[in-house]
């Protein structure tokens, strides 16, 4: 398939996609995991909604997408916990109230300007997802880790796709393929609603609203915001120790996943890979180590 690259605001987005069907593998068990409680009665780690994901092996990539999604290859992932939603303005405000120097810009003001641009569907200010630069996302993760007493970080590209698939190995979207049905509606209808703004920018909604979660009870993995991963952008197959997980390289372009909030982001398949400049702002969904 010929690839068309479009670079907008630090994102490389790809052209038309061909859909293909795959077999469904056994769904993996999911359970909510309670984390350490709070600090100064202000920031409650439980609010971040970490969900335990049991490790396993899955097929990463797609044969029906773009060249950088190939080859499809087996990847083993250890167990981890991941937020069931993108970090919100309300959650970030609580953190900044305790640590006001953590981010050296007016994050709330920037979000207000984003809302005024018309691409946000504002229903609940504190539930709107926020965008951070690579450095900001790393600093917030480090602070959350101090509070939780455990490692908090961005997910690897492999962890993100494994979680987004929700045990539906080989499927196109977090809920299955377009002809599949979830909560009484076809997946094709959900995808249509997510990309309703195309060819203009898609709307950004409060987290956990409008669209159902996947089998792991994770929300907004298709659409809403592009999300940072920890992985530097490199060709497949994914190899964790080939330098792509070297977080000391602050200038490396990182893989962003999920699609959303930009023209031609209508492609929201779970295998789609985007590229983000470290100085650009994207959504964050943190992982907590065991």
Average pLDDT rounded to a whole number, residues 283-287: 97
Question: Helix (H, G, I), strand (E, B), or coil: what is residue 7?
Answer: strand
Only one residue has tokens 């962003």, namely: 256
DSSP letter, residue 179: T
- Token pair for 98: 């305790």
What does the pLDDT read at residue 113? 80
> Angle, to 10 degrees, between the axis of helix 134-148 and the axis of helix 89-98?
70
**Which pTM value belongs to this model?**
0.82
Please give the CATH number for the structural domain made up of 5-288.
Answer: 3.90.1580.10
The answer to whether residue 170 scores a pLDDT higher than 70 is: yes
CA dihedral 253, 228, 274, 73 (to 10 degrees): 100
Residues whose CB falls within 8 Å of the CB of residue 26, separated by 6 or more in sequence, listed in order: 167
Q: Binning pLDDT at 50, 70 and 90, where does residue 259 land?
A: confident
The answer to whether residue 21 scores a pLDDT higher than 70 is: no
The answer to whether residue 220 scores a pLDDT higher than 70 is: yes
Note the pLDDT tens digit of each residue in 125-153. Answer: 899 999 999 999 999 999 999 988 899 99
What does the pLDDT read at residue 24? 29
276 to 8, 187, 203, 264: CA distances (angstroms): 10, 28, 20, 15
Phi, psi for 21 (deg, rounded to 5):
-100, 145
DSSP letter, residue 170: T
What does the pLDDT read at residue 20? 31
| CB-CB contact of 260 with 228 (8 Å) | no
Question: Helix (H, G, I), strand (E, B), or coil: what is residue 212?
Answer: coil
| Geometric angle at alpha carbon 269, from 263 and 274, rounded to 5° | 55
Name the average pLDDT for the chain. Answer: 82
What does the pLDDT read at residue 145? 92
């Amino acid at each position: 398939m010929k690839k068309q690259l479009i670079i907008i605001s630090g994102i490389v987005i790809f052209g038309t996609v061909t859909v293909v069907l795959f077999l469904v593998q056994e769904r993996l068990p999911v359970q909510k995991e309670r984390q350490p409680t709070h600090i100064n009665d202000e920031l409650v780690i439980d609010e971040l909604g970490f969900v335990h994901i049991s490790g396993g092996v899955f097929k990463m990539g797609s044969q029906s997408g773009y060249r950088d999604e190939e080859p499809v290859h087996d990847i083993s992932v250890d167990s981890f916990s991941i937020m069931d939603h993108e970090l919100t303005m309300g959650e970030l405000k609580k953190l900044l109230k305790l640590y006001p120097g953590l981010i050296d810009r007016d994050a709330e003001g920037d979000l207000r300007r984003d809302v005024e641009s018309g691409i946000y569907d504002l229903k609940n200010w504190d539930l709107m997802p926020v965008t951070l630069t690579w450095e900001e996302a790393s600093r917030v993760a480090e602070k959350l880790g101090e509070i939780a007493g455990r490692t908090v970080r961005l997910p690897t590209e492999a962890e993100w796709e494994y979680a987004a698939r929700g045990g539906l190995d080989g499927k196109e979207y977090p809920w299955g393929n377009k002809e599949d049905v979830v909560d009484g509606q076809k997946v094709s209808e959900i995808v249509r609603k997510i990309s309703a703004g195309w060819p203009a920018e898609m709307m950004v909604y409060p987290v956990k609203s409008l669209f159902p979660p996947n089998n792991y009870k994770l929300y907004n993995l298709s659409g809403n915001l592009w999300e940072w991963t920890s992985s530097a952008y490199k060709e497949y197959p994914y190899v964790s120790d080939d330098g792509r997980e070297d977080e000391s390289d602050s200038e490396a372009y990182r893989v962003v996943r999920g699609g959303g909030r930009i023209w031609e982001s209508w492609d929201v398949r779970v295998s789609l890979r985007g590229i983000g400049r470290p100085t650009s702002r994207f959504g964050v969904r943190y992982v907590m180590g065991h």
